[in-house]
């Protein structure tokens, strides 16, 4: 579905650059005090070595250096499994614009939980809609993803709801991408 190679400042690949993705994930998420999947290079190599699924990796290059990435799983529908960019980069929106203008998917989906505000605004401008909005239009029903959280200890107190000072009960403290829960 994609031609692999370099297209201006976008590189399309069938292999992950684990060190770059890990570096960007740490640079982008750690200072924001969000809960996220720890993306070490070893974990990323293991996670994306599954041969049954086709992954496509999009990298945005700034001065010959990767400063943003988007990972898709795809067939006729594309799912944004993961994304990240260095602070001050506009790479994700450039990659998504490239995907929208160079592909013919039936649909493209991205989990909206914990989206950065600027990315959320960009997606709405590009006519992305939340699933509950689509479902309400289709069935006049509301769909919510049931997520239950609980400390792992048998008996717990208020402090057990915090990880490094971040309250896990507040969904605004989460950065969850489909990569965290698609397997």
In 10 A of CB 36, how many CB atoms? Answer: 20
Range name among 12-16, 39-43, 142-146, 163-167 with the lowest pLDDT average: 142-146
Domain ranges of the chain: 5-180
pLDDT of residue 11: 96
82 three-class SS: strand
How far is it, in rounded angstroms, from Cα 85 to Cα 26?
10
> Which helix (H) or strand (E) element contains residue 163?
strand 162-163
Q: What is the mean pLDDT of the chain?
A: 79
pTM: 0.77
Taking CA atoms, 158 is separated from 34, 120, 154, in Å, by 19, 32, 13
For 129-161, what is each residue's pLDDT tens digit? 766 544 444 454 444 555 656 667 778 888 888
> Which helix (H) or strand (E) element contains residue 46?
helix 41-47
pLDDT of residue 142: 46
Q: Which CATH class is domain 5-180?
A: alpha beta
pLDDT of residue 132: 52
Q: Is the pLDDT of residue 94 over 90?
A: yes
pLDDT of residue 41: 92
pLDDT of residue 143: 47
Q: Is the pLDDT of residue 22 over 70?
A: yes
Could you give the percent of the chain with pLDDT greater than 90?
Answer: 24
């Amino acid at each position: 579905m994609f031609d692999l190679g370099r297209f201006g400042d976008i590189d399309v690949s069938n292999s992950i650059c684990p060190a770059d993705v890990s570096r960007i994930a740490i640079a982008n998420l750690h200072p924001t005090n969000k809960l996220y999947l720890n993306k070490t290079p070893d974990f990323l190599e293991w996670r994306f070595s599954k041969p049954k699924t086709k992954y496509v990796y999009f990298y945005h290059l700034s001065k010959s250096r990767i400063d943003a990435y988007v990972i898709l799983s795809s067939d006729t529908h594309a799912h944004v499994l993961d994304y990240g960019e260095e602070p001050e980069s506009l790479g994700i929106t450039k990659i998504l614009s490239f995907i929208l203008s160079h592909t013919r998917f039936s649909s493209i989906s991205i989990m909206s939980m914990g989206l950065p505000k600027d990315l959320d605004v960009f997606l709405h401008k590009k006519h992305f809609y939340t699933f509950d909005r689509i479902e309400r239009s289709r069935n006049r029903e509301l769909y919510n993803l049931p997520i239950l959280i609980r400390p792992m200890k048998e008996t717990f107190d208020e402090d057990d709801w915090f990880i490094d000072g971040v309250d896990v009960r507040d969904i605004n403290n989460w950065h969850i991408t489909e990569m965290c829960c698609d397997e």
